[in-house]
Amino acid sequence: METDSLFYRLFKEKPKLVFELLGEKPPKTTYTFGSHEIKQTSLRADGILEPKSPKSPIVFVEAQGYLDRENKVYPSFFAKIFMYLRDETPVNDWRAVMVFTQRKYDPGVPIHYQDFLVTKWLRLVYLDELNEMTDQSLEVSLVQLIGLNKRSAFERAKTLLEQTQQQTSDAIEQQRVLEWVVTVFVHKFPKLSREEIRTMLGTKAELKKTRFYQEIQDEFLVEAIPMGLQAGLSVAEIAKRFKVPVKRIKDIAKSHGIEL
């Protein structure tokens, strides 16, 4: 599973989720979540919450879903932070947040960085222990899915979908929750088909209508259609096989310089 990309996708949609994971009230400012290319190095800081207000801290976020036996996760994280601060020289204070899907993946903070833990410039979050939190938001409950095994994840997801349907009749909100669940499961279990996910969730919703599945389908079509045409398949055959309009096939072919 590409843990980093999944976390960053969720944080980009709701930046202040980082503060909710810490059990804190988000600052009263607007945050944007993005990445920063560090000058004159091959390093890239991918998870940065940048506030509009100079009084709120910049938050650096790193996600880890496996055990780093060489224990480079902390040195690499702090190297990116300090190079960013060198390049940008912001007036804001800063904080660092390490998110582990499970506590066992934390190799331990090296002695060189333990002062940051003591002073709380560095905060650690373990998704497998978030169930001890009270009054957590729906988004925090959803992000917990990332650290669960298949059976537990689907059981938790079904409960969340049922709670959402009971708590709100807003179709947009129900769709938003389903979008998050689908995003998590497509990343966690890439071998499962849309129908398998729908069956395991026990939902009647048509998952192919979700934004994330549409994005996945678009990426697939952009690769598959040119290959099909180059293999000698006709436009009609491809349209029937992939269940897409002829115009869509022609548009993709044109963008790849393929004459029909």
Q: What is the pLDDT of residue 143?
A: 80
Q: Check residues 175 and 81 and name the one with the higher pLDDT.
A: 81
Give percent above pLDDT 90 in the chain: 23
Give 216 or 234, the one with higher predicted confidence.
234
Assess whether pLDDT exceeds 50 at residue 1.
no
Nearest Cα residue to 38 out of 77, 66, 8:
77
Measured between alpha carbons, how far is 80 from 87 in angstroms, rounded to an integer?
A: 10
Q: Which residues contact 64 (CB under 8 A, 6 or more apart)?
A: 3, 73, 98, 99, 100, 101, 105, 106
Domain range list for the chain: 1-147, 148-204, 213-255
Kindly report which listed range (65-69, 76-80, 94-98, 116-120) carries the lowest average pLDDT score: 65-69
CATH architecture of 1-147: 3-Layer(aba) Sandwich (3.40)
Angle, alpha carbons 194-205-241 (nearest 5°)? 40
Q: Give the pair of three-digit tokens for residue 176.
A: 């938003």
φ/ψ of 210, rounded to 5, equals -70, 150
Q: Is 59 helix (H, G, I), strand (E, B) or coil?
A: strand
Q: Check pLDDT > 90 for residue 116.
A: yes
Judged by DSSP in three states, 109 sits in coil
Per residue in 123-175, pLDDT (tens digit) is 999 988 876 454 667 778 778 888 788 888 888 888 888 888 787 777 777 77
Closest CA to 80 of 94, 65, 66: 94
- List the beta bridge partners of residue 125: 99
Region 216-220: mean pLDDT is 60
Q: What are residue 97's DSSP bridge partners?
A: 61, 123
pLDDT at 3 over 60: no
